[in-house]
Structure 1
Amino acid sequence: MAGYATSWLANTFGGGSYAPSTTYPFVQPDAQDLSVTPSGVAVVADYYDEGHRMFGMYQNGQVVGSISWNCVGGPTHLRGGYAVTNNGTYIYIAVYDDSSSSNKINYVQRYDLNENPSTFSGGSGGCSNQITVDTSASAPIYGLAASATELYVADGSSNSIDVYDANTMALKRHFAFTNPRRLAYDLNTNTLWISQGGANSSFAGNVYHFDVNGNQLSGTITNVAVPHALAIQPGTGYLWVADYGPDQNLKIYNNAGQQVGTFGVQGGIYSGTPGLLASNKLFYPVGIGFDASSNIYTVGIGAHFQSDLRAFNSSGNKLWGLQGFGYVDTGAPDPATDGQDVYTTFEHYKMNYSNLTTGAGGGGTEQTWYATTVDPLKYPLDPRLLDGFPTVSQVQNVGGNKYLAVTDMYSNSLMLFRFNGEIAVPMAMLTRQSFYYWPTQPSPPWFWQDTNGNGNPDSGEFTQLGSISNAQDWFLDANGNVWYANVTGTNAGINEFPLQAINSSGNLTYSPTGVVTYGIPAPFNQVQNVFYDAANDVMYVSGYTPSLPFGNNEPYGTHSAGTVIARYNHWSAGNRTAAWTANLPHNPSAGITIRPWTVAGGKIFAGLFETQNNSSGQVIHNIYVYDASSGASLGEMMPGVETNYFMGWLDCNQTLQAIQRSNGEYVVFEEEEVDGKVTVLRGLLNDFTQY
């Protein structure tokens, strides 16, 4: 097949729409809570989703609906909440609106079991199905529970449990409780279980037993490190508690608070071979639920902004699982395995490229989620966990070792990792800005190297480094050298940190003061992106020129790839004369600018920042392809019918990666954040027809 096909990675489904749809389904990211109806509809709450599925509905391994589109704000509102419950008649969701920094609001909304708004007298909001709990909220609502007659709300802003009539939604009473988090209502005893958190929205604390009028009962549970979810098992009346701490499992208690069992392997996904997936190895569980058939449901948030939904029968055998892992990320193929191993920022996938399905209903069948590469318990300061939206940029193999390179949305930082089994261990970081919650760091910009090999930043491991103060783009070449483009300043142009050695820990090491500055090669006056092909000593550069300069209407300032791309042969031998130059598509006023680009197998793939669509919403311009030997334009690539010809914007500087496999096939990976996946375009590219 000469052309190319569309597939995807990092989501069970491929999506294909800006609006939540069962026709073009996807699994939402950022799972925060779970409630399961008697018929087995799992409702997953999340706080933020650009695909607007903040309260997704799943059954028997399929997407069956979404509450978020109805009344949470529609296409202009991307915020959901942290709690959901149902009483067999209604679904109740907590909505946290923090769009105003000075006036955060907590709402609770009610729906029937078919996701339709359930109105009531005095109901507010666009669907008259809403109550306002806090108008100046200091924290979201983290817990909801409901009986047939009462709704219980964990009101952390008021340090109380608020009790509403489940049918009229009128406030009936409240009782004091400091830092309430999760709630579970026990029908058999007409009592509540309440988990208590700590400062800064922490869930670490005990689980307490109360009657519904606020009187504390015996049976306090103290042996759960981080009780992140509570649920009552029908029939037995047992309380199930999700332990988000090191045990990564579910603990089971009788109504006296005595532990009677567990569910899931102790240690979760970090038991046995750390990171390696198994059906009974849970992954940061945040929600538990049961249906009327005694099936067990769990949802985990994974390492960061993810959703891992699993269903088990009453014997603990897995029935199905769904994942939404691809928000603001791409895939980096491992060249050492011919692209059969692909890494996202947090996950490792095995690819069976022979399992290609095409046409409507096809796609996504090559991927198998194999392992996670992040261990927050062992490496709590892993920079991937603390950056808002990290995105993988490369996998390279140097000296027989595999390394992972990760950047952030705007390429402010480069994070480098070595592998210990499946876990990627932090080993170095360059950044031009203060890095969130790292306790030990000088004023930026700085270079951190893990000199003691413990994978955590320690004092004495940082070097302030003015030479990266205007870095725009980072590239780890196949020899382990780090290249970057400085947009302006004394080191403007192309710069390199040559690899010094691989130390006893397996870390790539560099001299922070050993940067090599190459300046700005003609015809450029501002360099934006670099790609160095070490095997052939070829440098590819994009940026601006005097005749096609940087303009004031560039989207996101300096984060465009520029107006021109060029190739320089024999770069390390000293050549600075371009073999060719080519103009990139560039019309910012019409939303046409190139943001990420990459090189593979003699071709350059350049992605539009703002994907261009026709009047029907179908993508018509996405990736431009050039001949790397001549700069000639070859054609265009864009998603096909498998994902409804749909593509979101490329929000990140380096979210386009590619490989040419040994059979000649090209595989291109690109970020697609709306439906929370990595779009995969693959084919021989003898022409640019879709099949």
Structure 2
Amino acid sequence: MIRSLFAGALCACVSFITIAGAAAQTPSGGTPLNAQTSWIGNTFGFGDGKWTQINITAIAVAPDGKVYTDAPWDESGAESGVYQDGKMLGYANGTHGWGNGGGNAVAINHRYAFIAVSVWTEKDHLVGKGIWPEKGHKWYGVTRRALDDPQRTAPFQPVANAADPRARLAASLLIVSDVPASSHNEVTGLAASDSVLYVATAALDRVDVYDAESMQRKGSFNAHQPGHLALAPDGSLWVLTDTLSGKAQLVHYSASGQKLDDTLPLPPDSVPADVSVDAQGRVLIADNGPRQQVLFFSKQNGRYAASGTLGERGGIFAGVAGRPGPQRFNGLTGVGVDARGNIYVSTNGIGPTFAPPGTGFGAALGAGLGATLESYTPDGKRRWLVEGLLFVDGAWIDPARPNSVYTGNKRFELDLSKPAGQQWTYVGFLSNRFKYPEDPVFHVDQWPGMPIARQVKGHTFLYLTDMYADHLKIYRFDAARDGETAIPSGYIAGRALRDPSAIPNAPAGGDWIWRDANGDGRFDADEFTRNTTGKRLIGGWGWWVDTGGDIWHTVSSKGIYRFRVGGLDKQGNPIYAYDDMQTYPVPAPFNDAHRAVYDASTDSLYVTGYTDDAPSQPQQWKEVGRVLVRYDKWSSGKPEARYTIKLPWDTNAKPILTIIGLTVEGNYIFAVEPSGVVHVLDKDRGNEIGVIRPGPEVGRASGWIDVANGISAARRSDGEYLIFVEEDARGKVMMYRWKPA
């Protein structure tokens, strides 16, 4: 049954105590605290303006080892980056935002970089003949850039206005498809010589041939759903076909587009994601199937035969599943070779993805699962590696291991004796799409989710809230059988799924609980429980899991709900049920509660939201609210409000001043603004101690905090605090080290 605590009596029994000065507006310009800025998840921290992009879906390798990339989206505009010898050299601008997007193909010759892009009108707000598509339309095409500096456009048609950078971009854009905005005609493959550019469009079943200088179309030939291309030294063309059908094939064409009869003996379970040809004519295939390897094929006696591999068979899922390392690939997207025979491999945690119709930045799954670019010598020794592993992701200290950190689908280990930015090592990828293909990480809301790690009955569980706080995912671990893999264990649904097919057998309309009763990590029809209590739990931004494993859900004006953990079932899943749920009315003075954080050590509940005196502003839909109250003796049935404080809030400030996430740890409350400024408040009194801002290690810059639970903190045994903040701009999570005086 549902137990409603102090229902109808809460307002009468709570006495509000406002500590002197605490009710005043807390200024954003508070006392700076002496904290070290560090980060996890990206090779570069932006201290020198560099970062590894968050997704890579295509690469082209120059003879000197420069690697040119492309992807549909990078939050800070590095859809197309340039890397060499483990360094980011720069990126091609004009591929991001305000009508511009990246793509899934890139090619180079000795003069130019050719990059697949998209251009749209931002719901018809962008208007300009020849610069933007017509109303209701979208362009898919190729932007041509100078090879030595891809930020420099290489126009091949008159520039309407030389002073207008948009006009220069337009003069350098080859429009391959001008289609209604709902159509999906992206460029899926590119290959180039000094004289010819080949452009594949899977949706059109066509490969077009252009003059690489004039960019005039010379002809085309038919190919079924063509994708990535590779130009061989003899002028022939290898084409991945059937790329939209789920089982890509490889076809060899002459330079004029005639299908040749030679083929590669690909293994039957291979899933070719990219193709490249080296100077000797050897064909390399990035196999994103169960092998997770690069396959080599050489011509012998007039036919191609397998001649070797690069990569441990099974990739990151071999041996200890989820353990990264050299040659343990994970979601191959690209392969290339330089003039010295060094091999380059890109991955993004899942493999090639395609943009859904009508969107500007594409299917972002890869951008949430982690981009890597690495180089190997001809004999297979790793030369260098760059990583951009995190996006819309937070971090939480592992409760069983103080130097272990979970993110939405990764694990890192810390060595705090090292310099800032070098204190993390990537040690675990948590999502195994081959063993647990129904894992909602791959199917729901595009990004893995914000982590809370807790121990229940001596076992560690990972709880993930999504970007929009629609649901809570629960994962268990079994290191002996599954290595680093987080096994789908439970799911509490709020709103209805945006894509009803994302979770098999899910009841319509949301408001249900799933638990993996048979332990197979799949959503079987008999494992769902609907909410029949009459208490609708749809909506609300607040999810919290306390140290005992109880789940707290704050649902705006409807109330605060507590799912008490009912132990573990025979499969090791934590048990949560609607008939063992407590419900609390929204406590005074609130009329809308957005967060509720329970501290079991003091039996205190920290509630944030809106009051009659500090009302909600609908445009600030992810913020915690404008008021915070700490209630003591919460479980007694007669809670007492220790203090009431007004949180920073100014919608006219630039950047906007509000609190978008908070957590309670040790002696403090840590609250973060959307701009990344962290406020530290004394937990007992509610007064602000000071603020933490990004330091020079990260260019004094943070991306927007774009989730409802983007901050966590952990007190170490020596009294130091580690504060983790989601930073979605440049592929990392901020880590601040602060030790109170």
Provide TM-score, normalisation by structure 2.
0.85
Q: Which residue in 1 is equivalent to 2:358?
A: none
Q: Does 1:245 align with 2:289?
A: yes
Q: Which residue in 2 is equivalent to 1:317?
A: 381
Which structure 2 residues correspond to residues 126-205 of structure 1 after superposition, within 5 A?
Answer: 126-127=168-169, 128-136=171-179, 138-187=184-233, 189-198=234-243, 201-202=244-245, 204-205=247-248
Q: Does 1:647 align with 2:710?
A: no
Shift of 1:679: 1.0
Q: Does 1:72 align with 2:137?
A: no
Shift of 1:628: 0.6
Shift of 1:122: 5.9
Residue pair 1:279, 1:318 contacting (<8 A) in 2 also: yes
Q: Does 1:110 align with 2:165?
A: no
The structure 2 residue matched to 1:623, chosen from 651, 666, 678, is 678
- Cα 1:156/1:679, change in 2 over 3 Å: same
Q: Does 1:15 align with 2:46?
A: yes
Q: Does 1:487 align with 2:532?
A: no
Q: Which residue in 2 is equivalent to 1:289?
A: 336
Q: Which residue in 2 is equivalent to 1:689?
A: none
Shift of 1:610: 4.3
- Cα 1:98/1:241, change in 2 over 3 Å: farther
Q: Which deviates more from structure 2 when the two are superposed, residues 26-35 or residues 562-571? A: 562-571
Which structure 2 residues correspond to residues 51-62 of structure 1 after superposition, within 5 A?
Answer: 51-62=76-87
Q: Which residue in 2 is equivalent to 1:464?
A: 530
Q: Does 1:81 align with 2:81?
A: no
SS of the equivalent of 1:513 reads: helix
- The one-letter code of the counterpart of 1:549 is P
- The one-letter code of the counterpart of 1:220 is T
Residue pair 2:568, 2:575 contacting (<8 A) in 1 also: yes
- Cα 1:605/1:77, change in 2 over 3 Å: farther
Q: Which residue in 1 is equivalent to 2:417?
A: 354
- The one-letter code of the counterpart of 1:458 is D
- The one-letter code of the counterpart of 2:629 is A
Q: Does 1:562 align with 2:631?
A: no
Q: Deviations over 1:239-281 (max 9, x none)?
A: 1111111111111112534222211011100001100111011
Q: Distance in 1 between matches of 2:66 and 2:218?
A: 29
- The one-letter code of the counterpart of 2:155 is T
Q: Does 1:400 align with 2:450?
A: no
Shift of 1:146: 1.3
Shift of 1:173: 0.8
Residue pair 2:272, 2:286 contacting (<8 A) in 1 also: yes
Shift of 1:100: 6.0
Q: Distance in 2 between matches of 1:15 and 1:288?
A: 27
- Cα 1:123/1:90, change in 2 over 3 Å: farther
Shift of 1:388: 2.2
Q: Which deviates more from structure 2 when the two are superposed, residues 218-227 or residues 35-44? A: 218-227
Q: Which residue in 2 is equivalent to 1:614?
A: none
Q: Distance in 2 between matches of 1:578 and 1:218?
A: 80
- Cα 1:195/1:345, change in 2 over 3 Å: same
Q: Which residue in 1 is equivalent to 2:23?
A: none
Residue pair 1:335, 1:659 contacting (<8 A) in 2 also: no
Shift of 1:467: 3.0
Shift of 1:113: 1.9
Q: Deviations over 1:529-571 (max 9, x none)?
A: 011122332221111222222234x413xx2211111222222
Residue pair 1:473, 1:528 contacting (<8 A) in 2 also: yes
Q: Which deviates more from structure 2 when the two are superposed, residues 437-446 or residues 34-43? A: 437-446
Q: Does 1:418 align with 2:482?
A: no
Q: Distance in 1 between matches of 2:279 and 2:733?
A: 39
Q: Deviations over 1:210-238 (max 9, x none)?
A: 11212111233453532111111223x11
Q: Deviations over 1:100-159 (max 9, x none)?
A: 685232111222221232232468952422211111153311211112321111122321
- Cα 1:543/1:505, change in 2 over 3 Å: same
Which structure 2 residues correspond to residues 154-553 of structure 1 after superposition, within 5 A?
Answer: 154-187=200-233, 189-198=234-243, 201-202=244-245, 204-221=247-264, 222-223=266-267, 225-235=270-280, 237-255=281-299, 256-303=303-350, 304-305=366-367, 306-338=370-402, 340-355=403-418, 357=419, 363-386=420-443, 387-421=445-479, 422-435=484-497, 436=499, 437-443=502-508, 444-465=510-531, 467-488=536-557, 492-552=558-618
- Cα 1:162/1:138, change in 2 over 3 Å: same
Residue pair 2:98, 2:122 contacting (<8 A) in 1 also: no
Q: Distance in 2 between matches of 1:46 and 1:123?
A: 27
Residue pair 2:100, 2:117 contacting (<8 A) in 1 also: no
Q: Distance in 2 between matches of 1:52 and 1:318?
A: 28
- The one-letter code of the counterpart of 2:275 is L
Residue pair 1:448, 1:461 contacting (<8 A) in 2 also: yes
Shift of 1:343: 1.1
Identity of aligned residues (%): 31
Unaligned runs of 5+ in 2: 1-31, 124-135, 161-166, 351-365
Q: Distance in 2 between matches of 1:470 and 1:177?
A: 47
SS of the equivalent of 1:592 reads: coil
- The one-letter code of the counterpart of 1:93 is I
Residue pair 1:472, 1:485 contacting (<8 A) in 2 also: yes
Q: Which residue in 1 is equivalent to 2:113?
A: 91
Q: Distance in 2 between matches of 1:231 and 1:82?
A: 15
Q: Distance in 1 between matches of 2:67 and 2:399?
A: 39
Shift of 1:516: 0.8
Q: Distance in 1 between matches of 2:448 and 2:286?
A: 27
Shift of 1:192: 0.9
- Cα 1:202/1:680, change in 2 over 3 Å: farther
Residue pair 1:4, 1:685 contacting (<8 A) in 2 also: no
Q: Distance in 1 between matches of 2:118 and 2:729?
A: 20
Residue pair 1:522, 1:577 contacting (<8 A) in 2 also: no
Q: How many residues align?
A: 650
Unaligned runs of 5+ in 1: 17-22, 358-362, 612-621, 687-691
Q: Distance in 2 between matches of 1:160 and 1:184?
A: 15
Query: What is the alpha-carbon root mean square deviation over aligned residues?
Result: 2.0
Q: Deviations over 1:391-421 (max 9, x none)?
A: 3231111111111111111211111111122
The structure 2 residue matched to 1:676, chosen from 731, 734, 740, is 731
Residue pair 2:33, 2:691 contacting (<8 A) in 1 also: no
Structure 1 stretches of 4+ moved >6 Å: none
Residue pair 1:658, 1:669 contacting (<8 A) in 2 also: yes
Residue pair 2:77, 2:95 contacting (<8 A) in 1 also: no
SS of the equivalent of 2:441 reads: helix
Residue pair 1:392, 1:407 contacting (<8 A) in 2 also: yes
Q: Distance in 2 between matches of 1:531 and 1:110?
A: 52
Residue pair 2:633, 2:640 contacting (<8 A) in 1 also: no
Q: Which residue in 2 is equivalent to 1:618?
A: none
Shift of 1:580: 1.5
SS of the equivalent of 1:157 reads: helix
Shift of 1:572: 2.0
